[in-house]
Structure 1
Amino acid sequence: MSTLPSALAEIVDDFAAVGASDKLTLLLEFSRELPPLPAELEQSAMEPVPECQSPLFLSVDDSDRDNVRLYFSAPPEAPTTRGFASILAQGLDGHSADEILGVPDDFYSALGLAEAVSPLRLRGMSAMLARIKRHLRG
């Protein structure tokens, strides 16, 4: 996937390098690495993503279009949702709006999680990316 920002491409490569049984383990590792919200950002000011099966909130700060900041909030008891949010945070945070808008809507299929995660859960990741892009298109 040549249109992926380098950080997101590395994550996709990490998932491609492990077998099916280890993909969920890797996703759980990402869930533990979801960055905390900055103190000045309250969840109530964030946009909910109702397509996710667990409560997920996101915030997009594109005041500097060359350095878009992404923030996610998901409860610890929702490791799949947190894992997806962490993948997007680690793969896209700090990239330009143009780079993020260039990410294919179905990039997550390259993670190879379809056998391990329900289509409803994958739809949640798709919805997160769609909302980020909608915000950037403003």
Structure 2
Amino acid sequence: MTETTATAHDAQQQIAEEFAFFSDWTERYQYLIDLGKQLPPFPDEAKTEANRVHGCQSMVWLVPGGDATKMHFQATSDSAIVSGLIALVLRVYSDRPAAEIVATEPEFIQTIGLAKHLSPTRSNGLAAMLARIKSHAAAALT
């Protein structure tokens, strides 16, 4: 799971295939929670207001790194399901060139049915996190 997939598109395909194994949303939520538990440790000193993603009901912190050739993101949340969402987002967007990040739409959200199964506050939080990642990538390109 930790190896970087060739492209963001490939990562989204893999995510869709993984979620296709589960027949119902109880299992998919459990899988999301399990993914969240596998996030690398997040430094407590990075849990600052500047790194906080607003728009999320739960607390989410996101730290960008790297440059336009390869951007890396670290993130964490105090919510198990949101941590799982972060794990998916990082698989698609972290350790990729800024141009690819900006150009990649998060199709996996629709493909695996997340769009229909997230509460409005979680959907807003996910959108805020994606906007923040794309904004860092766009800034790296300028």
Q: Aligning the two structures, in what range does the TM-score lie when normalised by the shorter sequence?
A: 0.7 to 0.9
Which residue matches 2:58? 54
Structure 2 length-normalised TM? 0.78
* Larger displacement relative to structure 2 (128-137 or 85-94): 85-94
Q: Distance in 1 between matches of 2:100 and 2:16?
A: 16
Which residue matches 1:33? 38
| 1:50-97 alpha-carbon deviations (Å, 9 max, x no partner) | 21110001011132x22210010222xx11111111111233221111
Q: What code does the residue aligned with 1:67 have?
A: K
Which residue matches 1:19? 23
RMSD: 2.3
**Residue 107 (structure 1) shift:** 4.1
| Secondary structure at 1:130 match in 2 | helix
Aligned length: 132
Which residue matches 1:85? 86
Question: Percent of aligned positions with the same letter in both sequences?
Answer: 27
Gaps of 5+ in 2: 1-6
> How does 1:92-103 map onto structure 2 within 5 Å?
92-103=93-104
Structure 1 length-normalised TM? 0.80
Which residue matches 1:73? 76
Gaps of 5+ in 1: none
Higher helix share: 2
Q: CA distance change for structure 1 residues 105 and 54 in 2, over 3 Å: closer, same or farther? A: same
Runs ≥4 in structure 1, deviation > 4 angstroms? none
**Residue 117 (structure 1) shift:** 2.5
Which residue matches 1:8? 12
